[in-house]
Amino acid sequence: MASQAHLEKMQLRQNYRNLWHTDLVSTIQADTPYCCFALWCAPCASYLLRKRALYNDMSRYVCCAGYLPCSGRCGESKCPEFCLCTEVFLCFGQSVASTRFLLQDEFNIQTTKCDNCIIGFMFCLQQIACIFSIVALIVGSDEIQEASQLLSCLADLVYCTVCACMQTQHKVEMDKRDGMFGPQPMAVPPPQQMSRIDQAIPPSAGYPPQPAYGHPYGQPYGYPPVPPPHSHGGPAAGYPPAGYPPSGYPPSGYSR
Model pTM score: 0.67
Distances (CA, A) of 16 to 6, 31, 208: 16, 25, 11
Mean pLDDT (the chain) is 77
- What is the per-residue pLDDT across 202-238, written as a single tens digit (0 to 9) for each? 554 555 555 444 444 444 444 445 445 444 444 445 5
Domain boundaries, the chain: 8-177
- φ, ψ of residue 177 to 5 degrees: the values are -60, -40
Residue 201 scores a pLDDT above 50: no
**pLDDT: which is higher, 19 or 14:** 19
Is the distance from CB of 35 to CB of 164 less than 8 angstroms? yes
What is the per-residue burial (b if ≥16 Cβ within 10 Å, else e) of 152-184? Answer: beebeebbebbbbbbbbbbbbbbbbbbbeeeee
From the list 31, 71, 55, the residue with the least C-alpha distance to 166 is 31
Peptide bond into 245 cis (omega under 30): yes
The model's confidence at residue 139, banded by pLDDT at 50, 70 and 90, is confident
- Backbone torsions φ then ψ of 109, nearest 5 degrees: -100, 125
Beta carbons of 41 and 19 less than 8 angstroms apart: no
The number of residues in the chain equals 256
